[in-house]
Structures are given as structure tokens and as C-alpha cells.
A and B are shown apart, each in its own frame.
Chain A
């Protein structure tokens, strides 16, 4: 294929040489740190009749702009990336997107993790909004210097066998706090996400009804566990992405982070003093979960659905996912990548030479079933977080929980 197209455009770069393909320009909106621009250039070389304009923005801005364009009915791109937590908001407007099953997505389905694929389809399973790009399997990031100081093991294998249940996680945290005086987990949000991200049923059901108030709700379990860790005194107040938190990662102000695969890329770029101090271990199975990741969709405004699809299919192919992983740390969702030599032997200098990719790959395969989030997932999530922050400031857990449910109910009715 490559050889053919190279031969085809050899010597005549002005006119298209392969059989009168029409000139096509595709607008592609992406977000965050990706290597899609480089990949698009590569694709253009192979398909001289296709021009791809990649525009990258920050996540919230990207999704809002896309939402506005779809709502206005004009100005949407030919290809758009969608973050998994934002997905349901767009799935509601299924009619504004191409069904990728109609464009040939069935043929590549078996290349990807089942749970990842399912989340990109609708409830009935007959409409696919996006092809899977990266995922965010979670693992335990921990500081070897603090673990050592606390008399805990520092080798990933030993840490895994020591911290093999939620109870053991708490005990290790208490020991560390006692010996070093530092919090084990950075923030109450992380403590809460431990169980939350692993829950299959979270805030809402597919009919948009709130599940929070129900007996035996998984969210309550996650909430109670966070409160329990906080009462044990091992939860810090360093909120993710704040300058204080970044400083904490860098200087070792806390010992452990239940982080996803993409956090590694952030650390390598932003925590220069922490080189060699962090390691990654597999989490207890109760906490095995995915946090984040994306899909690539095709809004139906496009005039070239098939050309757009062909590019997207190529973009998320196993080989290109490996490239995205190597250049930006986007963790692959194509399972065949996990067996590739370059993937398995990818030693991370930042993690003291540990091969972290296999830890995350194992975590990715431990996840079972797609999590349903719902359109109003995010605002409801914020309300529960508010409750937890109030608990940290001395509020009564049960009272705050009930207040959060009440606030969430008001959101749902709008």
C-alpha cells in the first residue's frame, strides 16, 4: 500500500496520480496532548488527495466548542475526539453523528478491549459513536523514599502482595502516616475514586434516574471508604492539578496516588525532582478501574464520511496506538499492542527503569464491563465531592451525604 502510493506520487506532486480521487479536506478537532498532528501528516503522504487540518484545544474548551457547533447545526468538524466522561452528553444527540457501524467499524471491533468498545456504543448496541483511542487503566503510584522511611517494601511485586485489599491499603497508609507524618493519599477525591471508578453502576441509570438514594448503592460504598480513610488521618488536602499538588508530587508531600496511565506522562514532564522516586504497582482487584480515555467520532455534518472514517480507522490502528503511546503516553486500547516487543520493553527512566507499561496493560485487562455514566455524571460527581470536602472540613458524613443527594436531585430535574 505504502509502496504503491509512493510510486504513484513519484515525480508528479502537483496532480493526483492515483485514479482521479477527488481532493478532500478534513477538519479534525482533538484535545489534550496527542501526536495526531504528526500522524495526520503521515497519512497525507500516503493519500495525496486528502488534507487533514488538526486543531487541538484544552479538554473543556474543546467539548464546549463542539457542543455549541452541533447545537447551532453548523461549524462542526469532520472528525472530533470525545472524552469518555463527556460521551453520554453527545450520545444523547446520536442523530448528529455518523453511525460508525455503517462505515465498516464491525471489521475492527475485535482489535480492541471489549469494555472500551461497548462504552462507545449506545444502550441497544446498534449505534457506534466513536472508535476507541486511549484508555486510563489505574494503578498504584507510590514513592519509594517514603515507603522505605515507613518500613514498607519498595519493590513493585512486594508492594502488590502487601497491598492486596482495601483493608491492607488502609493499614499501609496508617503505618506510613505514623512513621513519616505525611498523608498516604493526596486528596479525598482520590480516596473516593478508589471504589467509585471501579463501580459499574454509579450516579445515574440509562433512564436518567438518580441512583444515589438507593440502599446498597455502590457510590455510598465509595463515599464511606473515603470517609473511613479520612478518619484514619491518612488523606491529604492536595487537590489534583493545583500548584500545591504539583509541588507535592515533585517533593513527595504524599506517598501514593491511585492514578491512571496518562498521569505518567504528566509526571515525566512536570516533576523533575521526583525522577526515580516513583514506582507503579497493580492495585487490589476491588480498585481495578479505568479513569479517562477517549473516542474519535464523525459528526454527520461532514461531506466525506467515508474518507473521514478511513482516516480514523487508520489513526487508531494498533501500530499507530503504539506510536501515540511512545510519544505522548496515550495508553493503547488495542490489545495486540500489549504483546508488541517495543511495548513490553519500554523502560521508564522516570520510574527508575521500571517497565510500567505491562503493569497498566494488566490493569486494563482486569477491568470488566463498561461503566454507565450518564449525561449529568459530571455535575452530580461535583456535588458528592463537595460533600466530601465539607466532611474533611469537619462536617458530619451522613448529613453531608443527604445534602448532596438533595442537591443532585435538583440538578436532575432540569
Chain B
């Protein structure tokens, strides 16, 4: 009897166990892959940050030397400056433009909605390399390049888009903006569609125009989505790498006008064979990203709190 009972219990337990095991099996692929290509390199990189290593010879422990070398290097600070400037120019306008575009795409009287939505999302799914190559043609230093030609139409002198201090930054920011604005727009659009239509109807009856509706209904209710996109944009902007690297082509790692922090790190590791300082840079970058992401999230979530009028 009791034996049978135990058997039942046992079986019951093993059912539970089976469930547990199958649950773990379902999530295993992600964690195994993440462990191998995400977590292990990250931990190894922390270890490397305290070593001097050229990739082939034996490592030697140097303590905090790598951090000192990086933090004393004017080029590093130049790269931080470049990254922040390009991040601001490339991502801040996106938030504003993205919300306005999403609002327009959601208007009831707009025709061919799907066509516009797909078009606006297109840049994001276009190959990064193709985008950067096309932009490097549009913004070539030559007087006949499209960008310089347009400037000429308005009576400005041609700009050296790949070698001047502001030309490079502006060209790359435009590219980043163009590529990511659709992505943010789609997120905002999803947010807008989750807002109940009753609010707008009530506002229309109260005599609010479209702009007022955007300002007093859409914006406040989109707050969680704005926080999300600001967070992603901040992290993405500080990790800017592919766009400037391909845009600048051969001169990417030999000039400093548009050198970003990740490019600086890459140059250390793969051009100068200094994996220790590169890893140290990666850790410093992590700290910078945490700092800015926290600040930005605080600002955006704090902004809505002042406007208690809505609710």
C-alpha cells in the first residue's frame, strides 16, 4: 500500500521533474549560445584588461596600467567627444521626428498607410554596408558629389566630407538618422495604436486640434515607449562603429575626425596588437554607457511627472 503510494508520489515527482527538465531544455539553447559567444568573451575581456598581450606572446600582468594608458591618451578623449557629438546629432532628432511621423502614419484620413509604413521601415532592413557605401558616394569630397552639388546650388563652398572636423560628423549623423528613424517610428506607431481612440474623440469634441492632441494625449501616453527608445538609442549611439568605419573606408583608422570609442578600441586590438588596452577601453566604455543610459532614462521618465494634467 504504502509502497504503492510512494510509487505514485515518486511518479508524480518525476512528472514535475520532467516538466522542469523540459523547461530548462527549452531555454537552454539561448543560454548555451549566450554563454559561449557572449558571457565568456566578456569575462575574458575583463581579465585581459589587466594584462599586456599582443595576441601571440605570453600575457603579463600589468595591473591598472592599461586604464592609465587609455585615460591619458588624448586620442581616447577625442573619440569620446566624437561619439557623444555624433550620438546627439544622429539620435536626438530621431525621437522628435519619429513621434511626428508615427502620429502622421496613424491619422485616419491617410491613404496607402501600409505603403508608407513599409517605406519608412525600409532603411532599417537595408544592409548596413550598402547604406554606408552609397552614403560615401553621395558625400564624397569631390566637387561633383551630390551633397557638394546641393551646397553649390545654395551658394556654399564644397565640403570635405571624409576629412574635415564637422563634415565627417554631419555626414555620419545624417546616415545614422536616416537608418534608424524608421525603426523608432515603428515602435512609436505600435505605442500610438495602443492608445484608446475614445481619448481622441473626446478631445475632438472638446475642440482640440491635431497638434494639441499630439502634445497632450499622444506624447504623455507614449512615455514608456519613449523611455525604451531613448535607452536603446543611447546604447546604440555610444557603440557606433560600422557606419563610420565603412563610410570612411581606407582612412577609417588613420584619422581622428570621426573616430568613435569602439573604433578606437578596434584600432588598439587589431591594428596595434594591444589587446590589453583595447579591453580596458571596453570596460571604460561600459561605464560611460551605464552613466549616460541612467541619466537619459531619469530625464525622460522625470519629464512626464511634471505634467499631471493628463490622466
Contacts and interface: CB of A to CB of B under 8 A. Distances in A.
Given A71-B56, A414-B268, A89 B254 contact: no
A67 B254 CA distance: 21
Interface in A370-397: 375-376, 378-379, 382, 385-386
A89 B270 CA distance: 12
Contacts, number: 40
B271 A67 contact: no
A57 interface: no
Interface string B252-275: 011100000000000010111110
A340 B281 CA distance: 56
Contacts of A70: 56
Contacts of A45: none
Contact of B75 (A64, A89, A410, A413): A410
B56 A92 contact: yes
Given A70-B56, A379-B272, A414-B69, A386 B254 contact: yes
Contact of B271 (A96, A379, A410): A379
Nearest to B275: A71
Q: How large is the interface on A (under 10, 10 to 19, 20 to 34, 35 or more residues)?
A: 20 to 34
Contact of B254 (A241, A376, A382): A382
A376 B55 contact: no
A275 interface: no
A71 B69 contact: no
Interface string A25-50: 00000000000000000000000000
Contacts of B276: 414
B110 to A, nearest CB: 43
A93 B75 contact: no
A244 interface: yes
Interface string B26-68: 0000000000000000000000000000111100000000000
Contacts of B270: 64
Nearest to B55: A71
A411 interface: yes
A222 to B, nearest CB: 18
| Interface pairs A-B: 10 shortest CB-CB | A414-B274, A93-B56, A71-B55, A382-B254, A414-B277, A379-B272, A414-B272, A71-B56, A379-B271, A411-B272
30 contacts: A64-B270, A67-B56, A70-B56, A71-B55, A71-B56, A92-B54, A93-B57, A96-B56, A239-B250, A242-B250, A375-B54, A375-B273, A376-B272, A376-B273, A378-B271, A379-B272, A382-B254, A385-B254, A386-B254, A386-B255, A407-B75, A410-B73, A410-B75, A411-B272, A413-B69, A414-B69, A414-B268, A414-B272, A414-B274, A414-B276
